[in-house]
Amino acid sequence: MVNSKLVKVALILIIGGIALYFFLQSEEGKIRKELNLLTELISREGEEPALILAQKARRTGLLFTETCDYESKSHSYSGHYTRQEIIRQTAAARSQFSSLKLKLYDLQIEFPTEKTAKVILTASVKGQTKAGEEVNDTHEIELTLKKIEKEWLINYVKVVEVLAK
């Protein structure tokens, strides 16, 4: 009786593990994994050595295509950015914070073509600047990712404008 229960539990665990493995290997799983990495690289807690800061900015840049478009009607940073510019901007922005937490959730992933993915998600940023200012901002974000050499890279970022003044 005990043995048959153990076999059932083991079977459930094995099937769950296989399902998880295949999910992570799926294109959707890869995109989720990449966006999780993005949140880890952007978030920070306390002081960070300059080398780590630069390394995280560089790794963040590698999640984007060689050039990336950013569109936001409420911010003045809209435009066309190269990977190097993204790395510089990321390093500059993160260095202004003493703590920063990026959360990406409510992901909806579609594949209009085999090598293109469109993701709609909620991004929330919480933190404190070194000047002591509290930041707490949430937006709906639209991303386009391109599959380049088996890697999904962010090619377009749009902050969805819900209320247009």
* 138 is a contact residue toward other proteins (CB under 8 A): yes
- Among 34, 69, 85, 140, indicate the residue that binds other proteins (CB under 8 A): 140
* 109 is a contact residue toward other proteins (CB under 8 A): no
In the window 114-133, what residues touch other proteins (CB under 8 A)?
121-124
In the window 37-96, what residues touch other proteins (CB under 8 A)?
none
Torsion, Cα 151 157 162 165, to 10 degrees, reads: 180
C-alpha distance from residue 100 to each of 42, 72, 77 (Å): 8, 21, 20
* 165 is a contact residue toward other proteins (CB under 8 A): yes
* 36 is a contact residue toward other proteins (CB under 8 A): no
Instruction: Report the DSSP beta bridge partners of residue 103.
Output: 124
C-alpha distance from residue 102 to each of 5, 19, 45, 119 (Å): 42, 28, 11, 17
What is the pattern of x (binds other proteins, CB under 8 A) and - over residues 141-160?
-------------------x
CB 58 within 8 A of CB 139: no
Residues lying near other proteins in the complex (CB under 8 A) are found at: 105-106, 121-124, 138-140, 160, 162-165
